[in-house]
Amino acid sequence: MSIASSRAAIVAAAIIAVSASAPSHAAEWEFLSRFEGSFSGGGTVQRNAQESPNQVTCTFTGQPSETGVTMNGKCGAFIFSKQIRADLKYDPATGRYSGSYIGSSIGPAGLSGKRSGDAIVLTITWPQLVNGDTKATMTIRNSGNGQLGIIVTDQLSPGGERTDVTQLALNQS
């Protein structure tokens, strides 16, 4: 093989490699763009084993970018309301999301995880113990039909069974 043909092969391989990674990034942008705009709805939140689930109503505004998404909003019931924010960044090199969640009374929590189909499945790392540990799971599902679902799974007591402690269903408005 001549030097010219081996250079051509290297250039062709580089173009193929770049082309192969582009659809993944484009697919992720297509997914993130589903979060654009306003969402409203509600569901239930249960903070611990001693409380019954509370009905809440929520509004969120999503602001996607090529590298992630920011969700700002509030949830409340009757006389209380809580500001909520999630900032997620996507790393195309690893295919992973990372960021922060603000909304808990114990302070900002870390988020990390991956997309699985129409959902981003994230590990929440709380800044201190919540119901006996510092980990929970947040699943944010957006199938692209104007519906957004958020489920947080955690244990309600130390060493207890994991259960859905937050279940929200929102529609794009």
Q: Please indicate whether residue 49 or residue 35 has the higher confidence score (pLDDT).
A: 35
Is a pLDDT exceeding 90 seen at residue 116?
yes
pLDDT at 17: 37
HSE on the CB side for 26, CA within 13 Å? 6
- For domain 3-172, the CATH architecture is Beta Barrel (2.40)
Q: How confident is the model at residue 25 (pLDDT cuts 50, 70, 90)?
A: low
Query: In angstroms, rounded to a whole number, what is the distance separating the alpha carbons of residues 52 and 45?
Result: 9
Band of pLDDT at residue 24, cut at 50, 70 and 90: low
The residues spanned by each domain of the chain are 3-172
| Strand 133-142 relative to strand 119-130, pairing | antiparallel
Predicted TM-score (pTM) of the model is 0.83
Q: State the Cα–Cα distance between residues 157 and 169, nearest whole angstrom.
A: 25
Q: What's the average model confidence in pLDDT over 104-126? A: 95
Q: What is the pLDDT of residue 23?
A: 43
Q: Over the stretch 57-68, which tens digit does the pLDDT of each residue have?
A: 999 999 999 899
User: Which residues, at least 6 apart from 38, have a Cβ–Cβ distance to it below 8 Å?
Assistant: 59, 60, 61, 62, 172, 173
State mean pLDDT over 95-104: 95
Instruction: Determine what percent of the chain is predicted with pLDDT higher than 70.
Output: 86
pLDDT value, residue 12? 35
68, 90 Cβ separation under 8 angstroms = yes
Q: DSSP 3-state assignment of 144?
A: coil
Higher pLDDT: 5 or 108? It is 108
Q: Residue written as tokens 């900032």?
A: 87
Long-range Cβ contacts of 139-143 (<8 Å, 24+ apart): 140/86, 142/31, 142/34, 142/35, 142/118, 143/118
Inter-residue contact 163 to 136 (CB < 8 Å): no
> Is the pLDDT confidence value at 138 over 80?
yes
CA distance 57 to 62: 17
